Amino acid sequence: MRQERIKTSNAALDKEEMDWWDTNAGAIEKIWAMSFELQKIIRLPYLKEMKKFFTDNSEKASVKILEIGCGTGWVCRMIADENFHVLGTDFSKGQLAIAISEAKIYNKEKYCTYELADASSFPTDIDGVVIHALLHHLSSQELVFFFEKLKKIPKTTKVFIYEPVFVQKTGAMPSLTDKLLHKIITGLKSFCLNLANRKGIKDENLVITMNKIYEDAKNNGWYISPKEVPFYEAELNNYLENDYTVRKRYIVNKTDFDIAQSLVINKIYKPGFLFSNVLIPFASWLDKLSFKGNYTFYIAPQTHLFTCFELVRK
C-alpha cells in the first residue's frame, strides 16, 4: 500500500486517476457522500462549525466562499443561505451539472453558483476558501504549485481544510478512562453494525464494487485510487506554516462515519430515530471524549482520520 506521496505526476498517471474516478464515481459518491439524511447526521455538525468560523466577526451581512474541487456541491450546499454564499469550482462538467441540478432541488440556487475551473484559479473577491478532501489526491509537485497559487488570496482570508491525516501514535500508555472509552466505543460500533445488518438489505453491487476497489489498490500498491495518499501531519504543516495561522484543528468522522457507511452498505439511507438521534450522535460524542486522551494507542499503524483545519492567511 502506498504510504508516501507521489513526487511528480504525468499525463499517463493523471489519466489513470481520471479513468479510476469515471469507473468508480457512482460507488464512491454513495459510500462517501452518502444520502442527504446521513449527511445531516455525520457531516452537518462540523460543517456548521466551519460556517461559524467564516461568519464569526465578519463585518459583512453575507460572506462569499470559494469551494475548490466542489464536485457535486454537497459540502457547502448544506449550509448555504442568505448569509453564506458559495462559488463552487471543479474541472468536471459532469460533477458541476449535478451540483447545479441539486442546488435547484434543495432550493439553494440563490446562494450557490458553479464554474468550470481547475484548482489553480482563485478569484480575489472572496471572504473564505473551502478545500474538502481534495489535496491528498495531488502529487508533491502539484501541492507546491497549488499553495503557491493560493497565495493570491488576500491576507486575513479564512481557509478551511478537511483532509485524511495519518494518526501519529504518542507512545504513552492509555489511562483507565481511555480504556473504558475504547471498550464502550468498540461495543457501540459492534452493536450498530450488527443492527444495520439485521435491519437492512445488503447492497450486493456496492459490496462487489468496493471489494474490487480495495483489491485493485492492493494489487497495484495504491492507497485507494492511483494518486491519493493521506497526509502525514508534519507534511501538511510544511505547506501551511509559512503562510497560514492555524486557528483550530480537530478530528471528525471516526466511529460515526463507520456506522453511517454500514447503513449505506445495507441500503438504509433514511435511518430512523434510534440511529439518527441516539446511536450515531452518542458515538460522535464518545469519540470527542476519547480524543482528549490517548486514543492513538488503539489506532492501527498507517490509519488515517479526517482532520479539519481552520486557517487564516498571514
Per the structure block, which three cell numbers stand in for 104? 435547484
Confidence tier at 77 by pLDDT (50, 70, 90): very high
Q: What's the mean per-residue pLDDT of the chain?
A: 94
Confidence tier at 222 by pLDDT (50, 70, 90): very high
Is 73 within the bounds of a domain?
A: no
8 A C-beta contact, residue 82 and residue 43:
no
Rounded to an integer, what distance in angstroms lies between the CA atom of residue 188 and that of residue 240?
Answer: 37
- DSSP-derived 3-state class of residue 12: helix
Q: What is the pLDDT of residues 285-313, one digit of tens each?
A: 999 999 999 999 999 988 999 999 999 99
Rounded to an integer, what distance in angstroms lies between the CA atom of residue 290 and that of residue 285?
Answer: 9
Is 110 within the bounds of a domain?
A: no
Q: What is the pLDDT of residues 226-266, one digit of tens each?
A: 999 999 999 999 999 999 999 999 999 999 999 999 999 99
Rounded to an integer, what distance in angstroms lies between the CA atom of residue 121 and that of residue 161?
Answer: 17
Is 285 within the bounds of a domain?
A: yes
8 A C-beta contact, residue 8 and residue 141:
yes
The cell 507512545 sits on which residue?
171
Is 119 within the bounds of a domain?
A: no
8 A C-beta contact, residue 70 and residue 42:
no
8 A C-beta contact, residue 66 and residue 76:
no
The cell 509559512 sits on which residue?
242
Is 74 within the bounds of a domain?
A: no
Rounded to an integer, what distance in angstroms lies between the CA atom of residue 122 and that of residue 129?
Answer: 9
Number of domains in the chain: 1
The cell 498517471 sits on which residue?
13
- Cα-Cα-Cα-Cα dihedral sign, residues 180, 182, 183, 187: positive
Which domain covers residue 155, as residue numbers? 11-58+127-313
Is 21 within the bounds of a domain?
A: yes
Is 223 within the bounds of a domain?
A: yes
Q: What is the pLDDT of residues 159-216, one digit of tens each?
A: 999 999 999 888 789 999 999 999 999 999 999 999 999 999 999 999 999 999 999 9
Is 242 within the bounds of a domain?
A: yes
| Residues composing the chain | 314
Confidence tier at 121 by pLDDT (50, 70, 90): confident
Give one DSSP letter per residue of 235-278, joined into a string.
HHHHHHTTTEEEEEEEEE-SHHHHHHHHHHHTT--S--HIIIII
Rounded to an integer, what distance in angstroms lies between the CA atom of residue 275 and that of residue 256?
Answer: 10
Integer distance in angstroms from the first to the last C-alpha of the chain? 36
Rounded to an integer, what distance in angstroms lies between the CA atom of residue 306 and that of residue 249?
Answer: 11
pTM here is 0.94
